[in-house]
Amino acid sequence: DRALELAPRYPDLLRLKGQIEEARGRDDRALECFRRALDVNPAYRTASVDEAYALFRLGRHEEALPRFRDVVQFGFGSSDVLVHLGRCEEATGDLREARRHYRAALRKNPRELLAYYRLSVMDGQAGRTEKAKEHRRKILRLAREPVLREYYGPLLKSPRFRDPEAPLRLDRAA
Exposed e or buried b for every residue in 130-139, given b needs 16+ CB within 10 A? eebebbbebb
Q: Residue 161 in 3-state DSSP?
A: helix
Please determine, for residue 76, whether its predicted confidence score (pLDDT) is greater than 90.
no
- For residue range 101-113, list pLDDT tens digits in order: 999 999 999 989 8
Give the pLDDT confidence score for residue 136 in this predicted structure: 85
For 97, half-sphere exposure in the C-beta direction (CA atoms, 13 angstrom radius) is 15
